[in-house]
């Protein structure tokens, strides 16, 4: 049984998942993902299973992987890099790990937000450089936060926002009525309504054709001047040229993101050195607590599926 293992968080972080995977007697081939389609095409065809991160598993990759590939076990919950529809048509199971990283990503969301409003990185770097540059920041108390996507992560962000004294607004096609009522979350049916009322926009939606470029110029134009945007979901939720233009114009006061359209980004990526951008290298769920949870769940999914046991979490039903 040959397994392609690509997720770097899984490989780099200690935990019981390593022993479980090694104990199965699989032949494990390790790569440092996320891998582009071209690299996946080089590798495809020689594996019974993928234990993957955000690698590009396209129709062409699936074609070359057949008929040997039996299962894809995703480390994480985002499936936009996998052609799930094609997997379903081929009756190829796609397994994933919901419910293991929501607290970690919510904490990182506030890490980015607080760093933005208090100019934390620039201030700390100035002191390290021997300066004493005292920049005035802002509070988030009594500000309005708009949360796009009130699933597990969005709800954890809402809880933390309430603890900071923020007024919470939300938007989701699957509205969590009980949670929203209990926590006094104001509902918005459209992104236009939401973005016009809030001081902070926090993105937690899945990437799909309906959410791609959710934040773009015509919607930014509706916002209050100086809107802060935090993205710990997918880079493609934001139209990057429009975001850069809005940062330049001051209509967006800051963009804190854990995700980019190219990862790692090229040296000339226009957001890298922008003074109003704060970028972290896709580490929102990368903690010593969260990684072993995700890794163990993805390993259990893989092992149990290959053994024919029922304890698996499958994203595509057929």
Active site residues per annotation: 234, 263, 282
Query: Which positions ≥6 away from 110 have C-beta within 8 Å?
Result: 157, 160, 164
Contacts of 156 (CB under 8 A, 6+ apart): 102, 103, 105, 106
The CB density around residue 245, as the number of other CB atoms within 10 Å, is: 14
Q: Cα-flanking dihedrals φ and ψ of residue 125, to 5°?
A: -65, -35
Q: In the Cβ-directed half-sphere of 176, how many Cα atoms lie within 13 Å?
A: 19
| Pairwise CA distance, residues 32 & 154, whole Å | 29
The Cα 258–Cα 145 span in angstroms is: 18
The Cα–Cα gap between 272 and 111 comes to 18
Q: How many CA atoms lie within 13 A of 5 on its CB side?
A: 20
Alpha-carbon gap, residue 264 to 245, rounded angstroms: 22
**Phi and psi of 95, rounded to 5°?**
-100, 150
């Amino acid at each position: 049984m040959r397994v392609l293992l690509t997720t770097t968080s899984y490989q780099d972080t200690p935990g019981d998942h390593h022993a479980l995977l090694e104990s199965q007697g699989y032949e494990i081939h390790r790569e440092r993902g996320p891998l582009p389609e071209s690299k996946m095409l080089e590798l495809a065809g020689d594996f019974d299973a993928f234990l993957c991160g955000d690698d590009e598993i396209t129709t062409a990759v699936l074609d070359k992987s057949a008929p040997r590939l039996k299962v894809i076990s995703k480390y994480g919950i985002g499936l936009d890099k996998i052609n799930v529809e094609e997997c379903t048509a081929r009756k190829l199971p796609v397994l994933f790990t919901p419910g293991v990283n929501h607290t970690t990503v919510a904490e990182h969301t506030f890490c980015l937000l607080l760093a933005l409003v208090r100019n934390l990185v620039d201030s700390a770097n100035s002191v390290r450089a021997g300066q004493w540059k005292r920049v005035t920041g802002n509070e988030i108390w009594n500000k309005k936060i708009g949360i796009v996507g009130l699933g597990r992560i969005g709800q954890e962000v809402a809880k933390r926002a309430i603890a900071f004294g923020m007024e919470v607004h939300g938007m989701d096609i699957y509205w969590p009525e009980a949670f929203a009522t209990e926590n006094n979350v104001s509902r918005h049916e459209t992104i236009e309504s939401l973005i016009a009322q809030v001081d902070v926009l926090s993105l937690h939606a899945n990437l799909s054709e309906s959410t791609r470029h959710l934040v773009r110029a015509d919607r930014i134009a509706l916002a209050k001047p100086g809107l802060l945007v935090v993205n710990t979901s997918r880079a493609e939720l934001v139209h990057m040229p429009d975001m850069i233009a809005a940062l330049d114009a001051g209509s967006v006061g800051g963009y804190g993101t854990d995700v980019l359209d190219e990862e790692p980004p090229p040296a000339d990526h226009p957001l890298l050195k922008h003074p109003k951008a704060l970028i972290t290298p896709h580490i929102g769920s990368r903690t010593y607590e969260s990684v072993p949870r995700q890794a163990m769940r993805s390993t259990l999914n893989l092992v149990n599926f290959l053994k024919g046991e029922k304890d698996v979490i499958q994203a595509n039903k057929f």
